[in-house]
């Protein structure tokens, strides 16, 4: 059967007029193309035309990850509300670098309609309040990671709510959450037994009591940050070594009451510790003074 030249030209002309938006949106563009674009490019695409705006809204309503860490400072709060107003399937939400504008008013509706969230990053969001943390604890019971670094509004009651409802929590960053004291941290440790990564850094309220409770309850702990916890002593570090065989990383810089006597057993297990052994520190200081490192036989 012969195909006429006219017929071939017609088909070619038809194909040449095919545009990106002619492809199936939900079957092709959303799952196979738009998912590979960074959020800032998607925001730009929205401005191209009404069709592109509609396409991006379809994508945003179905995306599982929403990360504002790269464009947070430049996005209006109204745009944030608009982009996520139809999304009910988020698994990961990052609000880093949104501290200038994100408040409970914008965040609470998003949390309330996304009960499958497993990862929420709110570090540095100074304009939020304890109501956002309570909302996360009540809505996101499958939560695995929560970032709350430098959120000084986190208090004992909101952390207890989190512990009561998110028992599967594996990682939490409480750096510089200075309202928290031993009682709240101990309660978290008793409820969230699957914790593998915990930061209690830059909190002068943290004592051996918190560290020991974490060690005894969270046996799978792999990373612990105690930077600047001035009241932590050798006793709790020894308890940590005894109860946490999976520990991989320990940060104790500026913990002046933690000495090498408690750290040495962890070093022998190849735990990465952020402070050098005393001899190593002495060599570094000597090198700074002399301008070169003298040869010292460490095997003597």
Residues 190 and 164 sit within 8 Å (Cβ to Cβ): no
pLDDT band at 296 (very low <50, low <70, confident <90, very high): low
Residue 183 tokens read as 């009682």
Count Cβ atoms below 10 Å from residue 109 Cβ, excluding itself. Answer: 14
Residue 101 tokens read as 């504008």
Q: CA-to-CA distance for 72 and 78, rounded, in angstroms? A: 12
What residue has token string 């709110």?
122
Residue 114 in this model has a pLDDT that exceeds 90: yes
Domain ranges of the chain: 90-289
Residues 97 and 122 sit within 8 Å (Cβ to Cβ): no
Residue with the bigger pLDDT between 77 and 139: it is 139
Residue 12 in this model has a pLDDT that exceeds 50: no
Per-residue pLDDT averaged across 193-216, rounded?
98
Q: CA-to-CA distance for 6 and 111, rounded, in angstroms? A: 58
- Tell me the percentage of the chain whose pLDDT exceeds 90: 67
What residue has token string 């929420």?
120
Residue 39 in this model has a pLDDT that exceeds 80: yes
Q: Kindly report which listed range (17-31, 39-53, 69-83, 106-120) carries the lowest average pLDDT score.
A: 17-31
Q: Kindly report which listed range (12-16, 245-249, 264-268, 270-274) carries the lowest average pLDDT score.
A: 12-16
Amino acid 9: pLDDT: 52
**Do the strands 65-67 and 171-173 form a parallel or antiparallel pair, or are they unpaired?**
unpaired
- Mean per-residue pLDDT of the chain: 89
Architecture of domain 90-289: Alpha-Beta Horseshoe (3.80)
pLDDT band at 178 (very low <50, low <70, confident <90, very high): very high
Alpha helices (runs of H) in 17-155, residue ranges in sequence order = 39-45, 50-62, 77-84, 104-112, 130-139
Percent of residues in the chain assigned helix, strand, coil, to nearest 5: 45, 10, 45
E strands present in 104-167: 119-121, 145-147
Residues in the chain: 300
pLDDT band at 283 (very low <50, low <70, confident <90, very high): low
Main-chain dihedrals φ then ψ at residue 40, nearest 5 degrees: -65, -30
Residue 130 in this model has a pLDDT that exceeds 60: yes
Amino acid 208: pLDDT: 98
Residue 200 in this model has a pLDDT that exceeds 80: yes
Count Cβ atoms below 10 Å from residue 16 Cβ, excluding itself. Answer: 7
């Amino acid at each position: 059967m012969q195909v006429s030249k006219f017929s071939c030209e017609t088909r070619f002309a038809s194909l040449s007029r095919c545009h990106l938006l002619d492809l199936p949106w939900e079957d092709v563009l959303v799952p196979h193309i738009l998912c590979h674009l960074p959020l800032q490019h998607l925001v730009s695409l929205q401005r191209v035309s009404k069709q592109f705006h509609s396409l991006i809204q379809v994508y945003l309503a179905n995306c599982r990850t929403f990360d504002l860490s790269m464009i947070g400072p430049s996005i209006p709060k109204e745009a944030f509300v608009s982009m996520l107003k139809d999304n009910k399937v988020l698994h990961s939400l990052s609000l880093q670098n949104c501290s200038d504008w994100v408040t409970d008013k914008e965040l609470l509706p998003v949390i309330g309609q996304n009960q499958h969230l497993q990862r929420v990053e709110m570090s540095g969001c100074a304009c939020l309040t304890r109501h956002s943390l309570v909302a996360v604890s009540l809505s996101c019971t499958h939560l695995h990671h929560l970032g709350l670094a430098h959120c000084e509004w986190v208090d004992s009651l909101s952390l207890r709510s989190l512990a009561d409802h998110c028992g599967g929590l594996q990682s939490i960053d409480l750096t510089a959450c200075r309202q928290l004291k031993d009682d709240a941290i101990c309660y978290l440790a008793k409820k969230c037994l699957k914790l593998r990564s915990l930061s209690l850094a830059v909190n002068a309220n943290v004592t051996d009591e918190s560290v020991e409770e974490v060690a005894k309850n969270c046996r799978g702990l792999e990373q612990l940050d105690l930077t600047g916890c001035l009241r932590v002593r050798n006793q709790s570090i020894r308890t940590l070594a005894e109860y946490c065989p999976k520990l991989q990383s320990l940060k104790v810089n500026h913990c002046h009451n933690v000495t090498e006597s408690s750290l040495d057993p962890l070093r022998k297990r190849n735990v990465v510790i952020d402070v050098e052994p005393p001899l190593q520190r002495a060599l570094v200081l000597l090198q700074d003074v002399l301008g070169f490192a003298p040869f010292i036989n460490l095997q003597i």
